[in-house]
Amino acid sequence: MESAQYIAYLLSEPRKVSCMKASEVLEISHDEINCFLLSNQFSGKDLFAAVKPGIRLRGGVLSVDDSVLDKPFPNPDTTALVGYFYSGPHHKTVKGINLITLFYTDATGLGFPVNFRLYRHQEHKTKHDYFQERVKECGQWGLRPAWVSADSWYASIENLKFLRNQEVGFLMGLEANRIVSTTAGCYEQVGKIEQLPEEGLLTHLKGFDFVKVFRTVDRDGHVRHSAMYLPDRQQWEQLSRKQFQEVKAQHWHVEECFRTIKQECHAPHFFVRSFQAIQNHIFCVLRAFQRLTWMTQDKILENVYALQRKLFLQAQREFIFNFA
Residues 199-252: pLDDT tens digits?
A: 999 999 999 999 999 999 988 889 999 999 999 877 877 889 999 999 999 999
C-alpha–C-alpha distance, residues 213 and 175, integer Å: 12
Q: Is the sign of the CA dihedral 119, 122, 126, 132 positive or negative?
A: negative
CB 168 within 8 A of CB 150: no
pLDDT band for 260, please (50, 70, 90 cuts). very high
How many C-beta neighbours within 10 Å does residue 117 have? Answer: 24
Determine the structural domain holding residue 204 and report its residue range: 3-323
User: What local confidence, expressed as pLDDT, does residue 88 receive?
Assistant: 81
What is the pLDDT at residue 220?
86
CATH number where 209 lies:
3.90.350.10
Per-residue pLDDT tens over the stretch 159-200: 999 999 999 999 999 999 999 998 888 899 999 998 899 999
Section 37-50 average pLDDT: 96
Query: Does residue 66 contact residue 261 with C-beta atoms inside 8 Å?
Result: no
pLDDT at 22: 87
Distance CA 22, CA 113 (A): 25
Closest C-alpha among 179, 66, 174 to residue 125: 66
Average pLDDT, stretch 148-152?
A: 97
What's the pLDDT tens digit per position in 62-106?
999 999 999 988 888 889 999 999 888 888 899 999 999 999 999
Rounded Cα distance between 324 and 310, Å, is 21
| 3-class SS letters over the chain | CCHHHHHHHHHHCCCCCCHHHHHHHHCCCHHHHHHHHHHCCCCHHHHHHHHHHHCCCECCEEEEEEEEEECCCCCCCCCCCCEEEEECCCCEEEEEEEEEEEEEECCCCCEEEEEEEECCHHHCCCHHHHHHHHHHHHHHCCCECCEEEECHHHCCHHHHHHHHHCCCEEEEEECCCCEEEEECCEEEEHHHCCCCCCCCEEEEECCCCEEEEEEEECCCCCEEEEEEECCCHHHHHCCCHHHHHHHHHHHHHHHHHHHHHHHCCCCCCCCCCCHHHHHHHHHHHHHHHHHHHHHHHCCCCCCCCCHHHHHHHHHHHHHHHHHC
CA-CA distance, 236 to 108, in Å (whole number)?
A: 22
CA dist 308 and 324 (Å) reads 24
Q: Within 10 A of 208 (CB to CB), how many other CB atoms are there?
A: 19
Number of separate domains in the chain: 1
0.75 exceeded by pTM: yes
Nearest to 43 by CA among 262, 286, 256, 258: 286
pLDDT score, position 271:
84
pLDDT of residue 19: 82
Separation between Cα atoms, residue 127 and residue 66, nearest integer Å: 9
Q: Among 26-35, 49-58, 139-148, which stretch is predicted with the lowest mean pLDDT?
A: 26-35
State the pLDDT confidence band at 1, using cuts at 50, 70 and 90: low
How far is it, in rounded angstroms, from Cα 83 to Cα 94? 8
Residue with the larger pLDDT of the pair 19 and 240: 240
